Structures are given as structure tokens and as C-alpha cells.
Amino acid sequence: MKTLAITSPTGADHITPEGHPERVARLEAVTGALASLEGLERREVRAAAGRDALSRVHHGAHIDQVFAASPAEGHVSLDADTWMSAGSLNAALHACGAVIDGVDAVLDGEAEAVFVGCRPPGHHAEPDRAMGFCLFNQIAVGALHALDARGLSRVAVIDIDVHHGNGTQATAEREPRLFFASVHQGWIYPGTGAAHETGRHGNIANRPLPAGAAGDTWHPALDELIEAVRAFQPELLLVSAGFDAHKDDPLAGLALDDGDFARAGTALAGLAQESANSRLVCVLEGGYDCPALERSVAAFIGALQAA
């Protein structure tokens, strides 16, 4: 697939307290992965997301709260896990803008696959609150941009982060044009994502896996989700590309390796080619062991390029 990577230097200005796992070094790992890939087109995000784009997903009170909390210096805690520094708001707005940019790129034929390598992550941010390192839910912002601003009828999100994307699911629960599917480790943070959570519109599919599950268990679960998304017939496929299901990651307990992420990239590219008009946008979420993150991102994007 013709593949484009979109990044933003503002991610380096989102400074978390010392020892926090969601740290600037993650962005450096992603940058190293992108630099290692031959033939990968790269550019920076064109613009930060505006309030209108955020408002398709988030309540006005939440947007106001995040803006008001932005500190002039030092750190502010929004919850036990989620922190802001002076550069965090701008980084989050550019991360949302980068997903919008990626959606536009595939819809306008600039690329077939886009990888958005920005931070902070977003899939835990709910319509009315920040949580789990996430300020705004950029993949949901991109999905609603595709539906409301670009006129698509059906968009799907597949979340492969080790933690369930509760914020994206919350958006799908009120938006039947959006299909949300997640494979994740069950019964850990944020405590959502049980198999019986299918949404009142039947547009949600969850595959929670036990601690210790490796590729031989994980890939069949992903294949089930791929079939569910194929039946939905999306016009655009978005992927919450978390890499914290890696066996070396410190925040969870699944046991994937670099090759599993390459295999996932191949499978997701195939789904986009067959069922989503060769339109695929992948958005960085978790991944907290930096060497594993760098290798896994390179393997994943390399598979997209080769598809």
C-alpha cells in the first residue's frame, strides 16, 4: 500500500512527571522506526484540530476543562494517570489534527495507508472526561470527521492496544455509523470491554483475552473482529495501533512479539484493501517499552508498505 506517516514535533512538548510511562522517549522510538523504513513518505501535521472537530466527540464542558487546566508551567494532574504540562494541550490538538489530516489523505487519494505517530494517546478519553494518559480521543475525532465533514456513511475502528478503548466505544455506543472492535487483555485497566458489550446498535465487538495470551490466541481473535468489520462494509478503516500487547511491555501481560505486529499489519491492510476502498488510517496509542515499540512500529508499517 502507498503509505504515509504523519507526525508532529509538538508531541515532544507534552512532558509528564519523571517515571511516568507515557514519556517523550516513546516519540523518539517511533521516530527511529520511521527513519528505518525505506520508501516511506513522511510529513508533519498540517494543522491542529479546532473546537468544532473536538465537539463531534467531546462535550463542551470537557473541552473547556482541558483548556482551563493547561498550566503555564509545571504539571497539572487531571486524574491519577493523566497529566498536563505547558505543551500538552497543543500536542493533543495537533494529534487530533494529524488523524483528521490522515483521514483526508486517504479520502483524497494522497495515500492508501497512513500511520499517525503522535502523542499523547487518545483511545481512553471519553466524551466527558480525560483518563488513561489521554486528553482527547483523536481516533474518534477522525472517525466523526470522516462521517460528518467528509460525508461517509460507515466507518470502522479496530483497536489492537492491550487496554480496551473505552472512550472510542463510548462514541460508538451513540453513533450507529461507527463500528468499534477491540482485542485486548481482559480484566485490567480500564475495566471495560467484556464480550457481552455489543452496544444498543449492535456495532461493537470485544474480544478480551487472558493474561499470558500469545499470538496463537491473539490472531484468531483479531480474525474474528476482521470478519465482523467486513460484514459492516466500512468505507474507511481506522486502527488504534497500540503496541503494549508486546511481551516486553511493562504495563500489561500479553505476549506478542515483533512478528505478531507485522502479521497484524498484513491482515489489517488486507481488510482495508478488500472492504474499505484501500483506505486505512492507523493511530499510535500505547507501547511503553521503547525498544519493543520501535521494533514493533517498524514491523507493522513495513507490513503495510508491502501489502
Active-site residues, by number, are 124
The candidate with the shortest Cα–Cα distance to 100, out of 54, 43, 157, is 54
The candidate with the shortest Cα–Cα distance to 102, out of 43, 167, 34, is 43
The candidate with the shortest Cα–Cα distance to 199, out of 238, 155, 168, is 168
Is 162 in contact with 187 (CB distance < 8 Å)? Answer: no
CA distances from 2 to 83, 226, 273, 307 (A): 36, 21, 11, 9
Q: Which residues contact 183 (CB under 8 A, 6 or more apart)?
A: 158, 159, 160, 207, 209, 218, 221, 222, 225
- Grid coordinates given for 122: 487518545
CA distances from 293 to 229, 285, 289, 305 (A): 26, 11, 6, 18
H-state helical runs in the chain = 24-35, 51-55, 60-69, 88-107, 138-144, 166-173, 215-232, 258-275, 290-306
The candidate with the shortest Cα–Cα distance to 262, out of 304, 221, 225, 294, is 304
The candidate with the shortest Cα–Cα distance to 79, out of 125, 119, 123, is 125
β-pairing, 3-7 vs 113-116, is parallel
44 has which bridge partners? Answer: 7
Residue 35 has a CB neighbour count (10 Å cut-off) of: 11
